Each structure stands twice: as C-alpha cells, then as structure tokens.
Structure 1
Amino acid sequence: MSDASLSPSLSVPGEAGMGDYWELLKPRVMSLVVFTALVGLVAAPVGVHPFVAFVSILCIAVGGGASGALNMWWDADIDSVMNRTKGRPVPSGRVAPEEAKAIGLALSGFSVMLLGLAANWLAAGLLAFTIFFYVVVYTVWLKRRTPQNIVIGGLAGALPPLVGWVAATGQFAWAPVLMVLLVFMWTPPHFWALALFVRGDYGLARVPMLTETHGDRVTRNHILAYAVLLVPVSLALGLTPVAGPVYLAASVVLNLLFLGACWQVWRRDRAAAEADRFAAEKRAFKLSLLYLFLHFGALLAEAGLGTILGA
C-alpha cells in the first residue's frame, strides 16, 4: 500500500458542514448496526437499567460511525473513481483525509472506553475488535486483495447484536451467536446482488469483487448458495429462547421470498439482466434489506411479547 493510499491528496475547497461530518459516519450502515445491537440487548434475558442501555447503544453507534470515518479515510482514492461513492465527504474534498482519520480514531477510543465504564469491559473489548476488524482486516487488508472480502469482512457488520447482548449480560450465549451468523451469512448475497448492477464501479476502482474476478455466473451461483445456507441458520435461531411463533412464521415466509428472488437472479444471464435493467437483481437486493430487518424486528416483537406476558 503506497503512502498516497494512506493519506489521499485531495483538495478541500472549503469548511465542511455538520451534514458532511454526519455523512462521514455512514449513517445508513450505522442504522443497521444500532438496530441489530438494540435487538441483541433487548432480547437478553436480564433487566438492564434504561440509562445503561441508552449509553451502550450510543457507544455501539459511535463505534460504527468511527469505523465508517476510518473506512472513508483509507478508501478515499478508490471512492473518488466510483460513481456510487465519489460524492462522499472525503473524495469530494469537503472533509480532509487527515481530519476523517482523526475523527475516526477519537470516536473509536471514546466509544470503547465509555462502553467499558457504562456496561462492562467484555462488551467494550468486543466493540474494539469489531472496529479493528472492519478497519484493518476488511478495509485495509481484504478489500483490495481478495474477492472473498465481503464474506470474511462481513463479520464486522455481524457482531453488533452480540455486543448488545454482552453489554446487557456480561457473557456469551448461543442466541446472539446465531444472530451474528444470520447477519454474516446474509451479507454476501446482499452485497453481491448489488455488485451485479454496479459492476462497472468496482472495475474502475480495481476492487476485486466476485463479479469482476469470476464473472456473473459464478456470482449468481454464490448468491443462491448463500440464500440456501441462510435457511437453517435463521430457523435455528427460531429454536432458541429469544424466539417463538412470531419469529418462526416470519422466518419461513421471508426465506421463501428471498429464495425465490435469488432463484430468479440465478436462472438468468447478464444479457437478460441488461435487457430489463437488472430488475431481478435490484429486487433481490431490496428484499435482502427487508429480510434482515424483519427477522430482527420479529425478535424484537418476541421480546416485547415476553415482557407483556411476564408482567
């Protein structure tokens, strides 16, 4: 990695606004982190003081935002050539690279220390590992070197529900581990569906996404394979104490819908996809978002029902 990639020389035309710093934290990614972490915390079989719960989720959100800022700092050179990312604060020049780096490091340290003080140090250690894994293992090491970047790097985005659970309980359990596996197995088909219809972007940036290194057919095979593997993971979570009939019913329906969408992606080639402007691929990508949200939403509903029935 060259020094230029460490500190991209991008000009800063003027002072950044609050919206630019908010965008630096990748709020869309942060929202997923916060939601899954909240479910992990709420589903835990212990009572948590509201203030401790609030501070824990805040720390996890800030840690996720810190990861996003460090990711934008490191990836500014490739972000600047991708249509999907060239408008981000660093490649567009609204935030200086070193400023993004400083913000990311400061927020990382703050979030980990505060979580340790407010909840417990095991949760803080998990948050620190999550930030490290996303920034160093995924962004710095894997992203530009292997088409398995999304598969391995997906662990960082999968860990928040476990961090939330450990913040509440101070220990590990099978239920949050299965939540992690659910997000981990969901990440590759989610991103590969996106990669199929933004393929040119990754090629311009020389990011070895599976679509670029192995082509559409292999990517479509992988999408269907991971969709199939998602089924037993999601159903196994339904057999743990945190789930119940609401979750299981939602999971069965969502798996059928997502498998059907991925089947439609698998059964056609790029020519057919280009003919209808990647309609099936875009449908699978959008459904993947709904798939994860409703699985965790069902867990949240089960926790709420448990509280009501236990009152």
Structure 2
Amino acid sequence: MRAYCIPSDGASAQLCDLKIPEPGEGQVRVAIKACGLNFADLLMQTGAYQDTPPAPFTLGMEIAGIVDTVGPGVSTLSPGDRIAVYSGQGGLAEYGVFDADRAIVLPDDSGFEDAAAIQIAYATSHMALDHRARLQPGETLLVTGAAGGVGLTAVEIGKLMGATVIAQARGENKLAVARAAGADHLIDASEDLRERVKSLGGADVVYDVIGGDVFKAAFRATNPEGRLLPIGFAGGDIPQIPANHLLVKNLTVIGVYIGGYLKFRPEAVRNSFDTLFKWHSEGRIKPHISHVLPLEDVAHAMQLLKERKSTGKIVITP
C-alpha cells in the first residue's frame, strides 16, 4: 500500500510503499477513505510535536473509512462498518490498523470527508469552549486565526453556544469565510487588535491559535474575569504570560489538549464526539473544507497548510 511516512529518524516525510498491516488484539484494519490534515502533522515532520511517535511511522491523525478486517477480541465492529477514528498517526495511507475502542460508528448521513474533518478541530473547540472555558450565552468570544482549521470551528461553536463572536483573520477572503461561519464582528490581521476589540466592549473568552504579539494584544483586550485559551502557536512564538496582569484583572489562562484527555479521561473526548456528530446530523455544524486532494499531493497539501493558503480543513482521500 501507499503511505506518507517518516521512514527513519531524521528522514524527510515521503510517499512509501508499505506492507498492508494486520490487526492485532482489539484492533481493526480500515480501508481509509479520508484523512484530515492538522498543523500538528507539520510539527511531527520535524519532531516538534509533543506526541511525535518514534520512527518509522505514518502521518495522519484523524481518519474515516470502512472496516476491512477485525482482529481477535473485537466484538463491537464488523467488516463493512463505516467508522471515524482519532488515530494520532497512520491516517495518510490506503489502509491503517487502529484500536477498536477509539472508533466511532458513523451515522448513515455522515460522509467520509466531513467525518475526517470534524474530529480534532471541532473537538478541540468544543472541549475548550464548553468543558474548559464554560462559555456562556451573551458573552463575547474573540477567535484569532478564525479562518483556519481550528479557529473556524471555534467561530461556529461559539455562535451555537450563544456568544457574540469577534473573528480575526488575514484578508477579505478569510474574513468572509469567518462571517459565513457566524462571526458577528470581523477584524483584519493588519488592524490594531487590542483597540478594535476594546472598542467592541472587550473579550470575555479568548481563543488564540496564533500566539506571539497576537496573543499579547488579545490578552490586553480581555475583560476582568476573562478566560484565555492558548490553543496553538501558528505564528511561531510562544508568548510569556505576565502573572501580575492575571492578578490585576482576575484573568484565567486555560490549557487545552484533547490528546491528553485520551490518556487520562477518554470519555470526555468520546462525549464531545457524540455531541459533534449529532450536531452534524442535525445540520447545526458543517465542516468547511477548502481542499480535497489525493495521497500523491500530500506534500503540496502540507505546504498549503504551512503557508496558511487554506481555509478550514484540508482533507486527503487515499
């Protein structure tokens, strides 16, 4: 089979020819129909991601496909079942072997591309805004990088939760995407973020995927008792948070990493997925997928992600 893999320590990511894997105890083999790309895939290629597997490994963190074979001890799934799996690795391939207890049986009306695009980005935003920040109806939510794969889901979920959403992104096209997802106010990345947010009454919750100076500006525009969610650092600079300012304004900075929840509280992630797929079936959320590309174009897809030339999600269809 073809797979986009890191063949050895220090090697570049590349298309590889691998033997089709066999499922072990408690595992299923999946014919992969779609795999969502994430910024973490870029980091894994250089070993900079906190959960980078040891080489050799295949990239691709979230998949949807059809169960091909079940391993010993699996009674909950059968060949032919349509499933989604937050796998963490192994998704950019024609086949993959995954733990059965991570699989979610897809509703009949969920397409593979949407199912692959929903898991990490939407669950990150749902866990962050609902489980961690406790966003309330009527509060103001600021989302930076609001047209990206994760930021756009925060706009959509924030509106579903009854918040007023301020979306920051670069350029008219990306701002239009954020507006279509429900943003109430738009701020171009070239504008003074702090002053614009303050002119709109400040932010009660900040969902930041950029870091650096963007986080610093958002921090200074946060209302007393506000909550800040540093989701990622796409700008490359991890901000240092002045603890004395936290005290003065009674602010809370909240860490969110759903991969961590899989290790110490997996039921929280599964509950989030159940909610998200229910919302999708009801038409309340709809993943924005800007590019659907074949496996041989993964390197190009990664470059689109790196250069921020995509909006929403990029999905690969092996």
TM-score range, shorter chain: under 0.3
The structure with the largest helix share of the pair is 1
The structure with the largest strand share of the pair is 2
TM-score with structure 1 setting the length: 0.25
TM-score with structure 2 setting the length: 0.25
